[in-house]
Structure 1
Amino acid sequence: MERLQPEHISHTRHLFFTGKGGVGKTSTACATAVALANQGKRVLIVSTDPASNLQDVFGVSLKNQPTPVEGIDNLDAANLDPEEAARAYREKMIGPYRGILPEAALQSMEEQLSGACTVEIAAFDEFTNLLTDETTVQDYDHIIFDTAPTGHTLRLLQLPSAWSNFIDESTHGASCLGPLSGLEEKKDLYAKTVDALSDPSSTSLILVSRPDVSSLQEAKRAADELAEIGIKNQQLVLNGVFERKGDDEIALNYERKQQEALRLVSDFFESVQTYYLPLVPYNLTGMDALRKLFTDEVAHQSDQKSTNKNDNFSKLPSLIDEFADKQEGVIMTMGKGGVGKTTAASAIAVGLAEKGHTVHLTTTDPAAHLDQVVGDADLPGSLHMSRIDPKAEVETYKQDVLNNLDDNLTEDELAYVKEDLESPCTEEIAIFQAFAKVVDQAKGAFVVIDTAPTGHTLLLLDAAESYHREVERTKGESSEAVKNLLPRLRDPEQTQVVLVTLAEATPVFEASRLQVDLQRANIHPRWWVINQSFYETNTQDPVLKGRAQAEEPWIHRVDNEFAENVAIIGWQPDDLVGLQQLKQLATKA
């Protein structure tokens, strides 16, 4: 596997970087932009990520129009804010009804337009405006986009029925219906943009992944989605490949885990050209750091200062002790994929059971390894495990929707409904009833839930009109469990929320956005857990020691700006599967 150089991926004018949060899309895109600008190319780099740290990487304040990056010729940058665009779009849709419709109806409309789908389509709208503004972009040799649109968004925009009267007449309640209905005047503009993205002579897609299983799975999903609509000019960049120097125990184990994940690459990406970038011992911010990414020196720096751990952050047992004092309740672990929600939820459940409490642990993660926990006969207390199977719940939900559609729909209209049901919002709605039933079991016991519905979903289904429509479509009745759910989740005496993150820029920003989302639903997270921290280890490897030092400002930022309480879990050499390992994590101070 060859180490990435800018010329490997810069043979087209448009470069789109995509991948799950925290894999290094922004730093890789920025380093590529700097390298191409240093070669004399005129480069524009644009972010459409709501959690973008493009400004932090370059150390400059950016706007939604191209701005010269100080310190480097030929490079301009723009930071498009899709959330601001989504707010403007919501007001455009709702404003005419203010003073006409009841306040409750306006709130319901606003929440319908507050989900991930609206932001995603608003982001597409923003970069379409830029991409088609010839007076702005004609002077650039390369336009680099940090965060590409998903295959779902692009497929949705390609469906003829998305632009027909069907979007105004349908009552099936699809989650992407609202966002599209106000953008009909841009149909032709969007079609041209989608065509440009599919042209391999002008556009390349760079899939960025960490060398770990969950990141690779997400990259594979994105690759397949985008290939379905004709975006097949793809390259894969494995960012953060560890090059060990010495026999530090942490380093040996870290290398082993990466190599196990890398063996999956050839199975996942048979025809995709793959490159790698090494793990570097510092944060990729500032021009010096970005310029060094494509040189050989970066992986072997050994001049890292010792991390000064003079703070006394809590460990997981402190969190468990506080929860145990309440004797019963709901505990929800939340966070973006790959940060360790399942591990945290499992350890909390085991820790509470160790203290003699009855605990029901449930997860929506189909890959969660919890059978070993349930099967151990020596466990004090009573620990029960169940799994809400998102795939099964979604399939049942989809079938219910399709069974209740009008028989007179055209093929195009039916295609629209089916595509809309692939929305990321659909899964949350589909598992909502199962989630409500599980929460209802928290009477005289603890219910620990790995991955709960977001604040947006809870508000959406709390709105009378929205929930009535959901009940109508499934021909069901509003159960007591559903009626009681939101009040219970809002009561801190009954429910505690734990946000799980890593000590890195993107996971921290994404967790803070999730916290704001929950606060809109009047749910206030009690703890943040910073997982897999090198800061909490005694590694002597120069690269990993540098990573520990780079984590420190993010840990303090979480503590000072976002979290009511913070607990830190150190990097673990093995996947925490099985009772004994979870018990150790739950009890080791």
Structure 2
Amino acid sequence: MKFLDHPTRNLFFTGKGGVGKTSVACATAVRLADAGKKVLLVSTDPASNLDEVLGVTLENRPTAIPEVPSLFAMNLDPEKSAAEYRERMVGPYRGVLPDAAVASMEEQFSGSCTLEIAAFDEFSRLLGDPTATATFDHVIFDTAPTGHTLRLLTLPSAWDGFMEQNTTGTSCLGPLAGLQTQQKLYQESVKALSDSAVTTLVLVARAEPSALREAARTSVELADLGVGNQHLVVNGVFRAIDASDPYAIALQQRGAAALEAMPEELNTFPQSIIPLSPHGMMGIDSLRRLGAADALSGNHTDSEDAVNKHDDLPPLSDLIDDLVAPGHGVILAMGKGGVGKTTVAAAVAVAIAERGYKVHLSTTDPAAHIAAAMNDERLPNLSVSRIDPAEETARYSAEVLRKAGANLDEQGKALLEEDLRSPCTEEIAVFRAFADAVSTGTDQFVVLDTAPTGHTVLLLDSALAYHREVTRQTSEMPEAVENLLPRLRDPDFTRVLIVTLPEATPVHEAAALQRDLRRAKIEPFAWVINQVLSPLPITDPLMKQRQSHEQRYLREVDDTHASRTAIVPWQLQPPTGLQGLNRLTHADLATSSS
């Protein structure tokens, strides 16, 4: 890892879920500590598995790691910080405003943006106050702030107590109102982040198009804000050992193609390549071997005897009969980016249409290659549309600026514009297209890979209740939106498929999504674990060890999280077009080498 040749004092690691940023951050901390430096490793990720990786129970204060002298680690708790802030903001109104209004306020402060600000609040104490970490040579942060958070914090008007209502009932402005006393500390933190002499931002990605695109987007966004000292780490690059294993050769070729087509923005700064580990990065010995050439040497935590123990989990095809049983309705494929929910949604739509049912597939697939393949092959009973989040968000933002920004000064408008760049805005913006699509499920099947989070559902719920309470804006509520909640909560109308991968971060993020949905009174129908190696006749030794490693996550999903589980084997050919999608829902084709 080239950034360790001349490491800065602060090292921030960022990347989408499942790319291995925690593993790389931990390995970096161990390597610096082994070199005699005193290191503090910090995570602000609410789904952190830092304890699991290091093998030590951590708290919100530095804890010594016994196996690595001079290494200390801590888990900050942004969820606790956000909950405390939320109560400070909402508590004074309990018993004063109607219950529906209080519920609306509570949900407003339950979104990802509030958590993001709370996380920044937590690590600003370590980054912006030099005395807080004066005894350490290096401070390593497992989670970096997003460009949206930094832009919001650098707007002068954000500290003016601006809390104008917008038309959505949601806002990312709220968190700042309760944190004005932190203004100087935040300013020092933002300054430290942009100082290339003291801070390096490490972008972690996989050799996959979606992960590299996300890294490029993050890189440009943060560079525009002055965070210029960046380094790219491509983690988990696979090199086949057994040239006779077609699965190993296919995986190697896909990674090489992704690296060859890497976004140009990522070629402007230094890069490090880390080979795929045959097992999970659990324990100090594993972290010390990260990136080593002899990856197959040494003991690991997964027994080879465990391979294929869970290949008896049912395939995706076993879900189709029950999905079509009602004769109509909505099927939602939900999950974090990069787990394959668009592909799973398309495969389910094709399988249902082939049974003679009328099906509409609505996708946000940016390449639209699935939609193009279907339209070209003209599958009967299946129609396809694409919801473009960027177009929906632009249209919606223009409407909000026209209504809520009409009487604002320039600073107020700047803050509102930043508010509208948040992830929450996109969720709200696609609601209209999403609600319209759901409403058509009364006389056909509708399959969507676009779905609101539990938070957004509850936000809609509380906003509707509040509107009814104060008898305003009800006349503006479209019928499809008004009926969306009952439809989503009706298990005979809506079936939710949670899509994940057999890896630590995707499984834990999916579990958090399920908790969020249940909070919104939406019970998932099944979990679909994508890209599973266990059923495959693999001979490559590195991939066989990966088969073994995934067992713990197959077991965790099936035993702990899911009421029903289905798997999709890793595909030799990318599952595009009707033939490729059919392989996902036909058990006899699922492991075919065609």
Identify which of 96, 100, 103 aligns with 1:100: 96
The worse-fitting range, judged by mean Cα deviation, of 319-328 and 125-134 is 125-134
Cα displacement (A) at 1:476? 7.8
Quick one: distance in 2 between partners of 1:512 and 1:338?
Answer: 16
Does the alignment pair 1:140 with 2:136? yes
Does the alignment pair 1:496 with 2:492? no
Does the alignment pair 1:359 with 2:354? no
Cα displacement (A) at 1:88? 1.2
Identify which of 155, 163, 167 aligns with 1:168: 163
Cα displacement (A) at 1:416? 1.0
SS at match of 2:440: coil
| Aligned-partner residue type, residue 382 of structure 1 | N
Quick one: distance in 2 between partners of 1:128 and 1:317?
Answer: 49
Identify which of 248, 254, 260 aligns with 1:251: 248
2:221 equivalent in structure 1 = 225
Structure 2: gaps spanning 5 or more residues:
589-594
The worse-fitting range, judged by mean Cα deviation, of 579-588 and 206-215 is 579-588
Does the alignment pair 1:19 with 2:28? no
1:57 equivalent in structure 2 = 53
SS at match of 1:360: strand
Cα displacement (A) at 1:492? 0.4
CA separation of 1:371 and 1:466: change in aligned 2, threshold 3 A: farther
Does the alignment pair 1:373 with 2:374? yes
Q: CA RMSD in A?
A: 2.2
Preserved contact between residue 366 and residue 390 of structure 1 (Cα < 8 Å): no
SS at match of 2:52: helix
Quick one: distance in 1 between partners of 2:474 and 2:157?
Answer: 26
Q: Residue by residue, what CA displacement relative to the aligned partner does 1:59-93 show, whole Å, maximum 9, x if unpaired?
A: 11100111001211000000011111111111111
Quick one: distance in 1 between partners of 2:448 and 2:472?
Answer: 27
Cα displacement (A) at 1:486? 0.4
Quick one: distance in 1 between partners of 2:170 and 2:224?
Answer: 22
2:147 equivalent in structure 1 = 151
SS at match of 2:483: helix
| Aligned-partner residue type, residue 338 of structure 1 | G
Quick one: distance in 1 between partners of 2:188 and 2:439?
Answer: 50
2:343 equivalent in structure 1 = 343
Does the alignment pair 1:36 with 2:32? yes
Quick one: distance in 2 between partners of 1:244 and 1:158?
Answer: 47
Cα displacement (A) at 1:467? 7.7
Quick one: distance in 1 between partners of 2:474 and 2:220?
Answer: 35
Cα displacement (A) at 1:258? 0.4
Cα displacement (A) at 1:407? 4.0
Preserved contact between residue 360 and residue 382 of structure 2 (Cα < 8 Å): yes
Quick one: distance in 1 between partners of 2:12 and 2:472?
Answer: 38
CA separation of 1:61 and 1:481: change in aligned 2, threshold 3 A: same
Identify which of 214, 231, 238 aligns with 2:234: 238
Quick one: distance in 1 between partners of 2:465 and 2:261?
Answer: 42
2:432 equivalent in structure 1 = 433
SS at match of 1:440: helix
Cα displacement (A) at 1:463? 1.8
CA separation of 1:171 and 1:354: change in aligned 2, threshold 3 A: closer
Preserved contact between residue 400 and residue 474 of structure 1 (Cα < 8 Å): no
Quick one: distance in 2 between partners of 1:465 and 1:187?
Answer: 34
Quick one: distance in 2 between partners of 1:236 and 1:473?
Answer: 51
CA separation of 1:406 and 1:542: change in aligned 2, threshold 3 A: closer
CA separation of 1:473 and 1:35: change in aligned 2, threshold 3 A: farther
2:592 equivalent in structure 1 = none
Q: Residue by residue, what CA displacement relative to the aligned partner does 1:340-391 show, whole Å, maximum 9, x if unpaired?
A: 00110001001111111111110123234222113324x3x51111111111
Quick one: distance in 1 between partners of 2:164 and 2:382?
Answer: 49
Cα displacement (A) at 1:533? 1.2
SS at match of 2:40: strand
2:480 equivalent in structure 1 = 481
| Aligned-partner residue type, residue 353 of structure 2 | A
Preserved contact between residue 192 and residue 199 of structure 2 (Cα < 8 Å): yes
Quick one: distance in 1 between partners of 2:489 and 2:401?
Answer: 33
CA separation of 1:429 and 1:171: change in aligned 2, threshold 3 A: closer
Quick one: distance in 2 between partners of 1:348 and 1:467?
Answer: 37
| Aligned-partner residue type, residue 176 of structure 1 | C
Preserved contact between residue 101 and residue 466 of structure 2 (Cα < 8 Å): no
Name the TM-score, length of structure 2 as normaliser: 0.94
Preserved contact between residue 405 and residue 416 of structure 2 (Cα < 8 Å): no
Preserved contact between residue 536 and residue 568 of structure 1 (Cα < 8 Å): no
CA separation of 1:432 and 1:227: change in aligned 2, threshold 3 A: same
| Aligned-partner residue type, residue 89 of structure 1 | Y
| Aligned-partner residue type, residue 110 of structure 2 | S
Quick one: distance in 2 between partners of 1:276 and 1:336?
Answer: 24
Does the alignment pair 1:448 with 2:447? yes
Quick one: distance in 1 between partners of 2:171 and 2:275?
Answer: 40
Name the TM-score, length of structure 1 as normaliser: 0.95
| Aligned-partner residue type, residue 276 of structure 1 | I
Percent identity reads 51
2:269 equivalent in structure 1 = 272
2:591 equivalent in structure 1 = none
SS at match of 1:337: coil
| Aligned-partner residue type, residue 284 of structure 1 | M
| Aligned-partner residue type, residue 548 of structure 1 | Q
2:530 equivalent in structure 1 = 531
CA separation of 1:266 and 1:459: change in aligned 2, threshold 3 A: closer
CA separation of 1:474 and 1:153: change in aligned 2, threshold 3 A: farther
In the alignment of these two chains, the number of paired residues is: 581
1:329 equivalent in structure 2 = 329
